[in-house]
Amino acid sequence: MDTIKQITSIPLFQGLSQEYLQDLSAIVIEQVVKRGQGIFSEGDEGKGFYVAISGRVKIFKLSLEGKEQILHIFGPGEPFGEVPVFAGSPYPANAEALEKTHVFYFPREAFVDLIRKTPSLALNMLAVLSHRLHRFTALVEDLSLKEVPGRLAAYLFYLSDKQKGNDDLALEITKVQLSSLLGTIPETLSRILSKMTKEGIIATDIHGRIRIVDRKTLEKLAQGEIRLSKSSF
Amino acid sequence: MDTIKQITSIPLFQGLSQEYLQDLSAIVIEQVVKRGQGIFSEGDEGKGFYVAISGRVKIFKLSLEGKEQILHIFGPGEPFGEVPVFAGSPYPANAEALEKTHVFYFPREAFVDLIRKTPSLALNMLAVLSHRLHRFTALVEDLSLKEVPGRLAAYLFYLSDKQKGNDDLALEITKVQLSSLLGTIPETLSRILSKMTKEGIIATDIHGRIRIVDRKTLEKLAQGEIRLSKSSF
DNA sequence: CGTCGACTTGAGTTAACTCAAATCATGTGG
DNA sequence: CCACATGATTTGAGTTAACTCAAGTCGACG
Task: Pick out the nucleotide with least CA–C1' distance to B149.
Answer: D17
The reply to whether A63 has its C-beta less than 7 Å from any atom of strand C is no
CATH 1.10.10.10 applies to domain A146-223: yes
The reply to whether B227 has its C-beta less than 7 Å from any atom of strand D is yes
| pLDDT reported for residue B2 | 87
C-alpha–C-alpha distance, residues A84 and B112, integer Å: 24
Whole-number distance in Å between A76 CA and D11 C1': 37
| pLDDT reported for residue B49 | 98
Checking if the pLDDT of A231 tops 50, the result is no
- Cβ-Cβ contacts under 8 Å, B85 against chain A: 130
**A224–B115: do the CB atoms touch at under 8 Å?**
no
Whole-number distance in Å between A55 CA and D7 C1': 21
Residues 6+ apart with CB under 8 A from A173: A73, A98, A181
Region A112-130: mean pLDDT is 97
Best CA proximity match to A218, nearest among A189, A232, A197: A197
Nearest residue in B to A221, CA atom: B64
Residues 6+ apart with CB under 8 A from A158: none
Checking if the pLDDT of A213 tops 50, the result is yes
Residues 170-229 of A with CB under 7 A from strand D: 174-177, 186-187, 189-191, 193-194, 204, 208
| pLDDT reported for residue A185 | 98
- Residue of B62, B64, B127 with shortest CB distance to A223: B64
Checking if the pLDDT of A124 tops 80, the result is yes
- Cβ-Cβ contacts under 8 Å, B122 against chain A: 115, 119, 122-123, 126
Give the pTM. Answer: 0.96
The reply to whether B75 has its C-beta less than 7 Å from any atom of strand C is no
| pLDDT reported for residue A205 | 80
C-alpha–C-alpha distance, residues A47 and A113, integer Å: 14
Q: How confident is the model at residue A207 (pLDDT cuts 50, 70, 90)?
A: confident
Mutate which of A70, A129, A143 to test chain B, going by most B C-beta atoms within 10 A? A129
Residues 6+ apart with CB under 8 A from A183: A69, A142, A143, A148, A151, B143, B144
Nearest residue in B to A116, CA atom: B119
C-alpha–C-alpha distance, residues B20 and B217, integer Å: 50
Q: Are B137 and A82 in contact (CB under 8 A)?
A: no
C-alpha–C-alpha distance, residues A228 and B219, integer Å: 39
Q: Are A133 and A212 in contact (CB under 8 A)?
A: no
Q: Are A92 and B138 in contact (CB under 8 A)?
A: yes
**CA angle (A209, A212, A216) in 5-degree steps:** 165
Q: Choose which CATH entry (3.40.50.10190, 3.40.50.720, 3.90.1640.30, 1.10.10.10) describes domain B147-223.
A: 1.10.10.10
CA A215 to chain centre: 24
Which class is domain B3-143?
A: mainly beta
- Residues B129-153 pLDDT 10s: 999 999 999 999 999 999 999 999 9
| pLDDT reported for residue A1 | 63
Q: Shortest Cα distance from A2 to chain B (angstroms)?
A: 30
Checking if the pLDDT of A25 tops 80, the result is yes
CATH 1.10.10.10 domain locations along chain B: 147-223
- Cβ-Cβ contacts under 8 Å, B108 against chain A: none
Whole-number distance in Å between A206 CA and D21 C1': 44
Checking if the pLDDT of A201 tops 80, the result is yes
CATH 2.60.120.10 domain locations along chain B: 3-143
The reply to whether A147 has its C-beta less than 7 Å from any atom of strand C is yes
Low-confidence ranges of chain B (pLDDT < 50): 231-233
The reply to whether B2 has its C-beta less than 7 Å from any atom of strand D is no
- Residue of A67, A122, A132 with shortest CB distance to B115: A122
Residues 120-149 of B with CB under 7 A from strand D: 147-149
One-character DSSP codes across A24-82: HHHH-EEEEE-TT-EEE-TT----EEEEEEES-EEEEEE-TT--EEEEEEE-TT-EE--
- Residues B65-75 pLDDT 10s: 999 999 999 99
Q: Shortest Cα distance from B130 to chain A (angstroms)?
A: 5
